[in-house]
């Protein structure tokens, strides 16, 4: 549990100390600072302490993510600290969290997602061009099999090469070397780094110990209901497909008029073979109060349990539809080819 200590103003008032774990990268710290600011605004008496850590994924920079084989590359050290009570909660990019969490942990908050899109950053010598107009055999850098497969399908005249490192490192590699004509990055990350006062998110997650009901209750106010339902459907889809860094799987969601639309796709490594389908389900809220239940690792007691259940079933159903059409065969071959590279 968290510590208690007197507030620094010396007035004798006891304030709660909440320790927040984060990766040490600049982007991770920006994300964590934004979560801390929201908590401080909601709970002015909180004293927050941010503790930075280096993860396995931060240390191994000479190997493609898809080749390392570890599912918790950017989260394991943070979860170890959570388990040892060295921190009270940790902030992640939700995409870094496996669809099955270690026992005793839960995602207590999923913040509003603003921009999940990818962005193309061109080498200065190609300024003004697009992927369509880049010269034949231009090399594009990306650490994602999913991005590479989708782009190979759309731009067969380009070549794709793995690029590792944090966002600043990858941008530096693009600018200072002639290896890449462009790199593909998360638009959200670029916006956070360049305009920290105008932050637009992919989905951020706050992970806590499931038994710490007071911490769980505290962070639950950060939940955004639409983002929670979208992420439950996405995580259920990925879990059913056993999708991860080692296979090209894509998923997109949208909530409109109380309907959750889920589009999922699987690709061969070169993008030549693919399956893509869309399904929808009602996520209209009901007034029924239910006991908190985890849905693919997420606990959101203030959001309709029925709606969460429908979102999870939607993800499973779409995955099963793709599996029935041959997705397992596509992904098995993709995994074997990736392992052999």
For each of the domains in the chain, give its residue range(s) and CATH number, in order of start. Answer: 15-113+201-223 (3.40.190.10), 118-193 (3.40.190.10), 224-340 (3.30.160.40)
Q: What pTM value is reported for the model?
A: 0.84
pLDDT category at 26 given cuts 50, 70, 90 is confident
Q: Is 162 a catalytic residue?
A: no
- pLDDT the model gives residue 67: 58
Catalytic residue among 96, 224, 286, 339: 96
Mean pLDDT, residues 78-103:
94
Per cent of the chain over pLDDT 70 is 88
- pLDDT the model gives residue 178: 83
Q: Give the C-alpha separation, 88 to 46, whole Å.
A: 13
Q: Give the C-alpha separation, 145 to 275, whole Å.
A: 16
Structure letter (DSSP) for residue 264: E
Using the predicted structure, report yes or no on whether residue 82 has a pLDDT greater than 60.
yes
Q: Give the C-alpha separation, 278 to 263, whole Å.
A: 4
Using the predicted structure, report yes or no on whether residue 69 has a pLDDT greater than 70.
no
Which pairs from 197-200 meet CB under 8 Å and 24+ separation?
A: 199/30, 199/34, 200/114, 200/115
Per cent of the chain over pLDDT 90 is 65
Among 10-14, 120-124, 222-226, the range of highest mean pLDDT? 222-226
Give kind and range of the element (H or E) at residue 23: strand 14-23
- pLDDT the model gives residue 287: 66
Considering only 10-19, 81-90, 233-242, which range has the smallest mean pLDDT? 10-19
- pLDDT the model gives residue 55: 85
Closest alpha carbon to 231 in 131, 63, 92, 121:
92
Q: Give the C-alpha separation, 247 to 163, whole Å.
A: 17
Q: Give the C-alpha separation, 339 to 246, whole Å.
A: 8
Using the predicted structure, report yes or no on whether residue 266 has a pLDDT greater than 90.
yes
- Classify the C-alpha dihedral 214-22-228-99 as positive or negative: negative
Token pair in block for residue 94: 């939700």
Pairing outcome for strands 14-23 and 139-141: unpaired
């Amino acid at each position: 549990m968290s510590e208690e200590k007197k507030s620094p103003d010396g007035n004798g008032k006891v304030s709660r100390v909440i320790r927040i774990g984060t990766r040490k990268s600049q982007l991770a710290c920006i994300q964590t600072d934004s979560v801390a600011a929201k908590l401080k605004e909601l709970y002015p008496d909180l004293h927050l302490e941010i503790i930075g850590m280096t993860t396995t994924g931060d240390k191994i920079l000479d190997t493609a993510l898809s080749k390392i084989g570890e599912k918790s590359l950017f989260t394991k050290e943070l979860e170890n600290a959570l388990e040892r009570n060295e921190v009270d909660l940790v902030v992640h990019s939700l995409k870094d969290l496996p669809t099955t969490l270690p026992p005793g942990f839960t995602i207590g908050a999923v913040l509003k997602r603003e921009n999940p899109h990818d962005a193309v950053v061109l080498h200065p010598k190609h300024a003004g061009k697009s992927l369509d107009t880049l010269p034949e055999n231009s090399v594009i850098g990306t650490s994602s099999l999913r991005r590479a497969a989708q782009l190979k399908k759309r731009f067969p005249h380009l070549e794709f090469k793995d690029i590792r490192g944090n966002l600043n490192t990858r941008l530096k590699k693009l600018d200072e070397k002639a290896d890449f004509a462009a790199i593909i990055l998360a638009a959200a990350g670029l916006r956070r780094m360049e305009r920290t006062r105008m932050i637009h998110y992919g989905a951020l997650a706050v992970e806590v110990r499931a038994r710490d009901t007071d911490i769980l209750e505290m962070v639950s106010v950060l939940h955004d209901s639409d983002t929670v339902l979208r992420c439950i459907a996405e995580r259920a889809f990925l879990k059913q497909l056993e999708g991860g860094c080692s296979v090209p799987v894509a998923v997109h969601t949208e909530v409109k008029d109380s309907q959750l639309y889920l589009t999922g796709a699987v690709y061969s490594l070169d993008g030549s073979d693919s399956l893509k389908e869309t399904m929808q389900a009602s996520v209209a809220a009901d007034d029924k109060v239910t006991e908190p239940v985890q849905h693919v690792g997420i606990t959101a007691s203030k959001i309709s349990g029925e709606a969460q259940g429908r979102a999870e079933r939607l993800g499973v159903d779409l995955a099963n539809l793709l599996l029935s059409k041959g997705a397992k065969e596509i992904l098995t071959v993709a995994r074997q080819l990736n392992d052999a590279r």
